[in-house]
Structure formats: C-alpha cells, structure tokens
Structure 1
Amino acid sequence: MGFGNIKSKDGQKQLNDFLADRSYIEGYVPSQADVVVFEAMSGAPSADLCHALRWFNHMSSYKKPEMQSWPGVKQPLGNYGPKGGAPAAAGDDDDDDDDDDIDLFGSDDEAETAAAEKLKEERLAAYAAKKSKKPALIAKSMIILDVKPWDDETDMAEVEKSVRSIATDGLVWGTSKLVPLAYGIKKLQISCVVEDDKVGTDFLEESITAFEDYVQSVDVAAFNKI
C-alpha cells in the first residue's frame, strides 16, 4: 500500500508520477504527510524526475522546526501515495476536515437550553482558536537559470561558487550541472527556490551578471510556481 522504497529509482518514479498534478502529498498546503515522505528519502531525485525534484527542492527550502509545526499527524510511509487509501475528493484539504470536526450549533433541541448555548459558545471559541493557529501559505517559485561564461577558459567552478555566494532572505539554491554549448564552452544550469514577495528574476540576473569576470549573460530557463 502507498509508496514503497522511496530511496529506489522505481520508488522515486512513483513519487514523480504521483506529484505530476499535485503540489503536496496531501491537500494544498504542506503537512506532516510531506515530512514523512521527505524524511524517508536519501537525497534529491534525478533531474528527469522533474515533479519529484520540484517537490524535493521545495521541501528543502524549509527548516526542520518550521516543518514540525505543519498540520496533520505523521503516519507510516505506506499510508501515503496512490494506493494509500481512498483519495480525498477534489477541493478537499485539511481546512475542510478541521471544519467538519466542529459542530457549530448542535441539534435544535440543545439550542433551546442554556447548556446548549454555552456549548455553542465554547465550540465557536475553539473553532476560532484553531483557525488562528493555521500557518499562512507563502507563495514560492522554482527557477532554473542558465549562466553563460565568456569562453572555454572560464573556471566554471568559480562561476558556480560566485553564484552560490549570493544570499538573501527568501532564496535557497538547489542542484546544478554543466551543459555543453559549443566549441568546448559549457554553461552552468542551476536551480533555486524563491519566495515570490522577496526575490525576483531581476534581482537574480543583476546579482549574477555583477561577476563580470566570469559571467557573460544569464537566462531564465524555467519558472514554475510551487
């Protein structure tokens, strides 16, 4: 049932297929289901598993204490995935489940008594408290950049080191690789996850091209909301 060996290539392909039309393992906000699957992995999926890699990089952008505050209760890995039980109906998420657990007004008979009125007030207070504790969703994007050097003699290790030295709130660098262009020249292709309200492509391009001894130009190869 659910995901098998998530460390294996087959297990990660299953995860990739599962995330093809999903942002998270369950619902529309990160939850303990994402934590269980993320902690079961031994490292980032390969680049050909783009959906699993997008999700993995997104999870990597969070710190462990922050992840522990996410909603939900951890279950065994086998309870998650395409065979981990009946899927939630479209549009359902943790918010809906929480709302359904609370009977705001009770039965008609109870409403006629003072005890029922007190119970209703307590439930309304509990409902408001639960809503106030839910974390706000932060809009993020995964960006893949192509960084082109001046020639084949440019030290690409220094290029990557320079790019990764760019640090600001809301920016997390991800995986990278060298991609052949022509005449022995290779470009650096590097991914990052950014908080949309804090980091934009203009900032990234200007910061990288500032290393003018190494960098000729920067292009956005991919831009995906997560």
Structure 2
Amino acid sequence: MGFPDLKSEAGLTSLNNYLADRSYIEGYVPSQADSVVFAALSGAPSDKLNHALRWFSHISSYDANERKAFPGDKKSLSSYGPAGNETEDNKDDDEEFDLFASDSEDEEEKLKQQRVESYQAKKAKKAAVIAKSSLLLDVKPWDDETDMQEMEKQVRAIEADGLVWGASKLKPVGYGINKLQIAAVIEDDKISTDFLEEQITAIEDLVQSMDIAAFNKI
C-alpha cells in the first residue's frame, strides 16, 4: 500500500503517524528509503506534524550528494510506509487461526484445542521489545590540523554490546575546523550516553569534546 501522495495533507499525516515510533523510514540509520520519501515531499511538514518535521529536519541536514550515498537499494515510493510487514504480522498473529473451525463435527473439539495451543505457543515465542535510541553525535577536534580520518577511525573502533555506528560526515564549525558528526544506535539497557562520552573523549590526542546533536527513542 505505501504512503499516500506525500504532497497532500493525508499523505503527510500518514507519514507523521508512521514516524511516531521510528527515527527513519527503514532501520536505524539513514538509508535510500529516507532519500526516496524525502524527495517526494514538497517542503517541510507543518509544526503540528512534529514526528514528520523532526525526521525532515534531520534528513535535510545532509546535502543531496550525501543522501544519494545513503546505504540500501532505492525502491519506488509505494514500497515504503504503512500496511507493510507490521500489518501482515498482525494478520498472521490474530487472524491465522479460526478457533471454532473444524473439518467435521467429531473433530471440532480436538482441532479447536490444537489451534489454541498453537496460537498460544506462537505468542509466547515473540521476542521481548528491546528499547533502543538513535543518536547523532558531534565530535570536535582540537584544531584544524587534527587528522579527521584518524579521529573517525578511532571513534568507530569503540565496540560494545548494544552499540552500532551509522553514517557520518564532516561539518564546518569555523576557522577551517570541521567536526565529525556521526550517527549511532544504542540499546538503552546496555549503553549510556555517559559511556559514549567517556570512551570518545578518551581519544584525547584528537578529540576535544563530544556533544549530542540529536537523541530519539526508537
């Protein structure tokens, strides 16, 4: 089904509702899905569509060439949006079993019990929801002579269970100095922002400071 016309009020409302519990159109980092949907908009959503506006502001922080370089395969707009896997999953969970159907009158109770047991087993196997957050970090160097490629290499070398690094770019801050802006997804129960700051600022020969530019629950 996908999104309706994203230049219409209905389309923008659909996008806003879709992004209420998501940071990106697909996955946990910017991808070609975000690039396609962004290109389908005629401009920034209104303030009342706060989820869509938050996402639009973040994606617009990347220039056109950076959006073209987002990972993933570019698909048609109709491939993205509501009524995708979630809807099908719900149907699988809630409509797969007709608890009162039977092949014959004699088998009715037996079949009903089997279906109830199968339904309950499938529900029990569902994985618990893992709370995650999407971060956008600003990592500032000491001066314009800092090796920014080495800085990014050492930041990405920080590994921990529950931490995934995403896209990055350099952004000017003035006087010929650039900062490293890098995305990350963390599992809230395993990784804290204090941990990230401690690990990144420990690269003290390259890093002057770290700030959180954006923080969104997934």
TM range (shorter): 0.5 to 0.7
Amino acid corresponding to residue 141 of structure 1 in structure 2 = S
Tell me the equivalent position of 1:68.
Answer: none
Tell me the equivalent position of 1:207.
Answer: 199
TM-score (norm 1): 0.60
Match of 1:101 among 86, 96, 99: 96
Match of 1:217 among 195, 198, 209: 209
Tell me the equivalent position of 1:160.
Answer: 152
Match of 1:22 among 18, 32, 40: 18
Amino acid corresponding to residue 187 of structure 1 in structure 2 = K
Instruction: Report the CA distance between 1:77 and its aligned residue.
Output: 7.0
Question: Cα gap change, 1:79/1:128 in structure 2, threshold over 3 Å: closer, same or farther?
Answer: farther
CA distance in 1, matches of 2:170, 2:209: 15
Instruction: Report the CA distance between 1:140 and its aligned residue.
Output: 1.6
What SS is found at the alignment partner of 2:198? helix
Tell me the equivalent position of 2:124.
Answer: 132
Instruction: Report the CA distance between 1:96 and its aligned residue.
Output: 5.2
Percent identity of the aligned residues? 54
CA distance in 1, matches of 2:158, 2:190: 14
Q: Which moved more, 1:122-131 or 1:207-216?
A: 122-131
Question: Cα gap change, 1:161/1:44 in structure 2, threshold over 3 Å: closer, same or farther?
Answer: farther
Q: Contact 1:177/1:189 (CA < 8 Å) preserved in 2?
A: yes
* Structure 2 stretches lacking a partner, 5+ long: 4-11, 37-58
Structure 1 residues 31-42: aligned runs within 5 Å: none
Hey, which bits of structure 1, 4+ residues long, moved more than 3 A?
Answer: 16-21, 41-47, 76-82
Q: Contact 1:139/1:197 (CA < 8 Å) preserved in 2?
A: yes
Q: Contact 1:144/1:221 (CA < 8 Å) preserved in 2?
A: yes
What SS is found at the alignment partner of 2:149? helix
Match of 1:149 among 129, 138, 141: 141
* Structure 1 stretches lacking a partner, 5+ long: 4-15, 36-40, 60-75
Q: CA RMSD in A?
A: 4.1
Q: Deviations over 1:82-130 (max 9, x none)?
A: 6xxxx65xx96723552123223459xx9xx663221221111121222
Q: Deviations over 1:140-182 (max 9, x none)?
A: 2110001111111211111111111101111111111111112
Q: What number of residue pairs does the alignment pair up?
A: 173
CA distance in 2, matches of 1:44, 1:153: 34
CA distance in 1, matches of 2:117, 2:213: 49
